[in-house]
Copies of this chain bind each other. A is one copy, B any other.
């Protein structure tokens, strides 16, 4: 059998699914959309869609991200931070039974975004929403606030979301990715609250401050200060160019 005989391989549908994470009100949240059709009609799912005929996988993910959030993916080659989201490939999910109707292989991507005004899938707040990942993964309570049933995510999206959350948790240890959750200018305390929300732990503010300001290339002072968190005015920083943190930020033991 010639491995490239067009009649010799089964056809697959290929999609991209997005794990879009942000930090809102001290909680790690993911973007979910409500499915309008079967299967899993009415259930929450990760945003995603088919890869087009002549589209690279990363491009398809960036296009979906833009359609769902208005964000553009951050170009790693750009000289200055552009407030775009971080976007990377997460993993590929291809269980033959993950979609009951046909063979679908989904290339999941992970996006990290700053806190955004609100999702805008058709401008309908009922069809797209930020939900705490803790709720989505353990479905102990409603996704929303208005008496909906606590149901798990559609397809294998709970597994994909869990993998994305785990990737984000481990990656902020040794990279400067946590700044992707912050606005362009932020304080050390705001950055610390990102780590605390993603890891679900409390960090010592004094040691954290020393650590991040003492790591060359991680943060650059923008000159301004703010009191938006109350208390003594805090210096404002932007993300520095350094991508890797060495030595890494240590996550406290569980």
Q: Which residues of B contact A14 (CB under 8 A)?
A: 9, 12, 14, 94, 105
Please determine whether B101 and A4 come into contact, CB atoms closer than 8 angstroms: yes
Q: Which residues of B contact A207 (CB under 8 A)?
A: none
Q: Which residue from chain B places its CB closest to the CB of A253 in the assembled complex?
A: B246
Partner of A50, one of B3, B93, B107: B3
Q: Does A146 contact B (CB under 8 A)?
A: no
Q: Which residues of B contact A107 (CB under 8 A)?
A: 92, 94, 105
Q: Which of A13, A53, A54 has the most CB of B within 10 A?
A: A13
A193 CB to closest chain B CB (Å) equals 26
A3 to B51, CA, bound (A): 11
Interface of A is mostly: loop
Q: Does A55 contact B (CB under 8 A)?
A: yes
A34 to B107, CA, bound (A): 29
Residues in A64-109 with C-beta less than 8 Å from chain B: 89, 91-96, 99, 101-103, 105, 107
Please determine whether B56 and A95 come into contact, CB atoms closer than 8 angstroms: yes
30 contacts between A and B (CB under 8 A): A2-B37, A4-B99, A4-B102, A8-B50, A10-B50, A10-B51, A10-B52, A10-B53, A11-B11, A11-B12, A12-B12, A12-B14, A14-B14, A14-B94, A14-B105, A51-B94, A53-B103, A54-B96, A55-B96, A56-B94, A56-B95, A56-B96, A57-B92, A57-B94, A57-B105, A89-B91, A89-B92, A92-B92, A94-B107, A105-B105
